[in-house]
Amino acid sequence: MSSADRLLMTLHVGFAIFALGPITAATMATPRYIRRGDARVVRYLNRATRIYGLLTLGIFLFGLLLAHGQFNKVWLSASMTLFIVAVALLLIVERDQRKALHKIELAAAERRPVPPKTSPAEAAPAEAPRTEEPANEERAEAEAPAPEPAPAPAAARDRDLAKVETGRIATLSGVVTLIWIVILVLMVWNSPG
């Protein structure tokens, strides 16, 4: 093995170690934080997925350079095909992370209390003298608008938040992890020397 090949192998393995571990951890942890409704952590995990997803392309690039055009080997072609499938699945995971983040942020915005609008008459001091008759008070109560129906309980609504995305992210993350393991076995089993 020449010095250039050793350098390519070092870069290939280095990118594999420092890109695959974090991207696997980020995608596998995402469903838990979606269920918790933690937008800050989901945003961070989405960013980590994007960054480390781009770094995985370094693995592919240095692997191609290391192959020296010998793509007629079945294990090498299978590894490259599996890698491309894994990257495509990661794109779907990243898209679902963005969708779930958007849903979490919308749910959080709906839960925020809207400040009540006060009219100048309501802003007047409460100690103002009362000159109204009791009959007018009863009529005012009868004319008051009916209370709005209570929204669905927050716990029930949040439980269903981004349920589809959570399941798809969990499933695809597991499949991608299995693909990385299969590629690792193919590389170690067929590595020279």
* pTM given for the model: 0.73
Angle at 73 between CA 69 and CA 77, to 5 degrees: 80
The answer as to whether 26 is a domain residue is: yes
Let me know: does 86 contact 28? Beta carbons within 8 Å.
Answer: no
65 burial via Cβ count (<10 Å: 0-12, 13-18, 19+):
middle
The answer as to whether 43 is a domain residue is: yes
Q: How many distinct structural domains can be found in the chain?
A: 1
- The domain of 166 spans 3-111+158-189
Alpha carbons 63 and 111: distance in angstroms, whole number? 49
The answer as to whether 27 is a domain residue is: yes
Q: Which long-range contacts (CB under 8 A, 24 or more apart) does 72-81 make?
A: 73/190, 75/186, 75/189, 75/190, 76/190, 78/186, 79/183, 79/186, 79/187
Q: Encoding tokens for residue 101?
A: 């983040």
Tens of pLDDT along the chain (193 residues)?
788 989 999 999 999 999 999 999 999 999 999 999 999 999 999 999 999 999 999 999 999 998 888 888 899 999 999 999 999 999 999 999 999 999 999 988 887 765 666 555 555 555 555 555 555 555 555 555 555 555 555 545 545 667 888 999 999 999 999 999 999 999 888 876 5
The answer as to whether 62 is a domain residue is: yes
The answer as to whether 144 is a domain residue is: no
The answer as to whether 149 is a domain residue is: no
The answer as to whether 103 is a domain residue is: yes
